[in-house]
């Protein structure tokens, strides 16, 4: 196993690792542990290059830090991405990757993300204690909590915009997207769905009583809310110009592809619910059950509504983007924690 440290400004630790015998190549980023050990999923994806994979790990780990800070959770942000390819021997690769996680001594806890199966997590668990599984005994499906959190954030946006008889376009109806669709259906919203897996889209449309759209058209359909629930980076500057929606609110991480997309949404008066604010339900549940031993996280996840409403109102008052406000609130929470920790250090070092 080859493990190299790659210093990056603003990140506590960035590792690249590879094990040629099983085809393992990946990156692990710990962004910030001010609030506690870094939590973040492991993603398996076909990246165009190692540089692209590394950049994804950096973006996602930073978003996890902010997600934890906004949710006021005692954890920091991290992320691992593993490059998927035909030669990857998955069981051996995840066992090897587990040794990397274990070597960090509990500074990083991981779990499932895009592309990860139960078998991958079982293999990972053979070599590290610092992994949470999808549905351990006693814990509900974590995807359901993510979807519930997105619904609370979406509800805040709808009320803020004064919208009723709402039509929502869901991009991606995997575990979270389908769960969100079920919640929206129960609450009387009309739906249009799309997925790169045509059979999955058809199944979701039938269950939800939804219309279907082609994956390449879902961001352009007339609707009130676009809910990206697959991969991030889908709202580019061009996509922001073409949206026919009033609100963007979904479960995908890093929905906006660039600062230009942020500004274009703001220019058009389209409300953006920062993804790391509204998709925190899964993180809340995972931390509260697996690390804090709490039986239920419903009340904690419901707080996403009030936090989203607060961000929307501050953005309107200050004439700022919701992204800028969410970042500011997260940084303020982190800085307060750093200051408190420093005061503790100073007090401990002061002679009696």
Q: Which residues are catalytic?
A: 79
Sign of the C-alpha dihedral computed for residues 278, 283, 285 and 287 taken in this order: negative
Which helix H or strand E contains 43, and what residues bound it?
A: strand 42-45
335: left (phi over 0), alpha (psi -120 to 50) or beta: alpha
Instruction: Let me know: does 172 contact 228? Beta carbons within 8 Å.
Output: yes
- Please tell me the distance from the alpha carbon of residue 206 to that of residue 88, in angstroms, as a whole number: 35
Concatenate the DSSP letters of all residues of 264-288 into one string: HHHHHT-EE--HHHHTTHHHHHHII
- Please tell me the distance from the alpha carbon of residue 300 to that of residue 295, in angstroms, as a whole number: 12
What token pair was written down for 351? 């002679």
Beta-bridged to residue 63, according to DSSP, are: none
Distant-in-sequence, close-in-space partners of 168: CB < 8 Å, separation ≥ 6: 154, 184, 189, 190, 191, 192, 223, 224, 225, 226, 227
**Tokens 């991969």 sit on residue:** 231
Q: How many residues in total does the chain contain?
A: 352
Torsion, Cα of 42, 100, 283, 122 (10° steps): 70
Beta-bridged to residue 227, according to DSSP, are: 170
What token pair was written down for 31? 């962004």
CA angle 74, 78, 82 (to 5 degrees): 150
């Amino acid at each position: 196993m080859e493990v190299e440290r790659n210093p990056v400004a603003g990140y506590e630790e960035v590792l690249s690792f590879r094990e040629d015998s099983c085809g393992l190549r990946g990156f692990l980023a710990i962004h910030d542990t001010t609030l506690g050990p870094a939590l973040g999923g492991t993603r398996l994806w076909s990246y165009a290059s190692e540089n692209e994979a590394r950049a994804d790990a950096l973006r996602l780990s930073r978003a996890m830090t902010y997600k934890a800070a906004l949710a006021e959770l005692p954890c920091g942000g991290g992320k691992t991405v593993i490059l998927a390819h035909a030669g990857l021997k998955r069981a051996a690769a995840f066992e090897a990757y587990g040794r990397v996680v274990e070597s960090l001594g509990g500074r990083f806890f991981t779990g499932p993300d895009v592309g990860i199966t139960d078998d991958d997590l079982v293999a990972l668990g053979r070599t590290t204690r610092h992994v949470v599984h999808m549905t351990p005994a006693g814990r509900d499906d974590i995807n359901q909590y993510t979807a519930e959190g997105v619904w609370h954030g979406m509800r805040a946006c709808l009320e803020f915009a004064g919208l009723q008889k709402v039509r929502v376009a869901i991009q991606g109806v995997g575990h979270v997207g389908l769960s969100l669709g079920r919640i929206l259906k129960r609450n009387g919203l009309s739906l249009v769905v799309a997925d790169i897996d045509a059979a999955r889209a058809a199944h979701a449309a039938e269950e939800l009583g939804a219309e279907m759209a082609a994956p390449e058209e879902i961001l352009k359909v007339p609707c009130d809310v676009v809910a990206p629930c697959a991969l991030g980076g889908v709202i580019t500057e061009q996509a922001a110009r073409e949206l026919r929606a009033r609100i963007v609110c979904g479960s995908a991480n890093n929905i906006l592809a660039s600062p230009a997309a942020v500004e274009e949404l703001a220019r058009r008066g389209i409300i953006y619910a920062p993804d790391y604010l509204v998709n925190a339900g899964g993180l809340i549940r995972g931390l509260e059950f697996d690390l804090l031993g709490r039986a239920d996280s419903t009340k904690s996840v419901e707080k996403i509504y009030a936090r989203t409403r607060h961000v929307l109102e501050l953005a309107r008052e200050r004439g700022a983007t919701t992204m800028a406000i969410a970042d500011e609130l997260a940084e303020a929470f982190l800085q307060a924690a750093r200051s408190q920790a420093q005061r503790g250090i100073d007090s401990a070092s002061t002679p009696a």
